[in-house]
Amino acid sequence: MIPLHDPAQRGFASDNYSGIHPEVLEAIAAANGGHQSAYGYDAYTDRLREVIRGHFGDRAEAFPVFNGTGANVVALQSMLPRWGAVIAPQTAHINTDEGAAPERVAGIKLLPFPTVDGKLTPAHIDEALANRLDEHNAQPRVVSITQSTELGTLYTADEIRAIADRAHAAGLTVHMDGSRIANAAAALGAPLREFTTDAGVDVLSLGGTKNGALAAEAIVAIDPDAADGLIYLRKFDMQLASKMRFVSAQLLALYDGDLFLRSAAHANAMAARLRDGLNALIGAGAIAGVSVADGPVNGVFATLPEGVADRLRDRFHFYDWDASRGEVRWMCSFDTTESDIDALVAAVAAETAA
């Protein structure tokens, strides 16, 4: 097949824009050939279950799915009674970027809370519980947090443990949206278990696509008692792959070894290079009207003078984050190069020279 795009084209719109990591492609090819049982009864999915238990504990159960929205919706649906609700940050992906799938597909009531940094606290749980047992209100039953957050911030293991302790004391369970969990692990320098299982997370949406996979995510029931009917809900919600070996093989490529960390650490490092490059220009007084937020992972949030973002988009794909105040988001990926970063820094410098 003749490529229909320019493989040299680069951008910073999303880590979803990147291709498949070469090692993941190799894993797909290695899983090809011959016949294997469908719907997860194959050697690759069996091995994935072992790998997941190695990361998250002996009780953990893995359910591969196609995408992050599917992982979140099916996971939360399994954790809730029909009358239950989910406490989440207002900026959570389940609240802002999933097309109301939690509400419309799963029938879930979301209880979003405004936060400064995209992170819930035990105080938010207390606030949500104020109307508990009032029959006129949806009843909080799950707390959902994102690691790393949609604002590029991180929870420490202690912060997650405090949330989980408060939730569990009130009879609630804890879900983590881990679409960028690898970036969090790389930034924290911690094993996955330290800020999930050991911190009290009950059910996890395990990311793959944003870190070099193709349509490969998983629901991990760290505590199977916190999730009911996943084996049925996955099919019910159209997230059960018939040729599951190819989904599982990709997750094996990432998590049966250190590829998930290597790729995420590289993306984080490229974002740090972008922040450092711009801050050096700001500090030297070489550019005007630009500010860059601190951050530990692969997203860079910056404010630009009016009109600059539109001119930069002639060369680089990226999105406005808050157009009303000139804030943009630049995302780095496993395949972002130093020259990509340096080209963007130079372009910003040219557009905003003091």
Q: Please say whether the beta carbons of 231 and 27 come within 8 A.
A: no
Pick the CATH number of 22-256 from 3.40.640.10, 3.40.50.261, 3.30.870.10, 2.60.40.10: 3.40.640.10
Residue % of the chain over a pLDDT of 90: 97
Structure confidence by residue, pLDDT tens digits, 116-168: 999 999 999 999 999 888 899 999 999 999 999 999 999 999 999 999 999 99
User: How far is the C-alpha of 241 from the C-alpha of 184, rounded, in Å?
Assistant: 28
Token output for 244: 């599951």
Residues 280, 180, 15, CA angle at the centre, nearest 5°? 65
pLDDT at position 9, please? 86
Q: Show me where the domains of the chain are located.
A: 22-256, 260-352
Q: Compute CA distances 11 → 17, 24, 81, 346, whole Å.
A: 8, 21, 42, 15
Return the pLDDT at 154: 98
**Which residues contact residue 108 at a Cβ distance below 8 angstroms, ignoring those fewer than 6 apart?**
73, 76, 77, 80, 84, 85, 86, 102
Sort residue 254 into left (φ over 0), alpha (ψ -120 to 50) or beta: alpha
Distance CA 320, CA 301 (A): 10
The candidate with the shortest Cα–Cα distance to 56, out of 301, 213, 212, 226, is 226
Q: Look up the CATH number of domain 260-352.
A: 3.90.1150.10
Supply 149's token pair. Answer: 């957050």
Q: Among residues of the chain, what percentage have pLDDT more than 70?
A: 100
Query: What is the arithmetic mean of pLDDT over 169-175?
Result: 98
Amino acid identity at 250: Q
Amino acid making up residue 91: T
pLDDT of 7 reads: 87
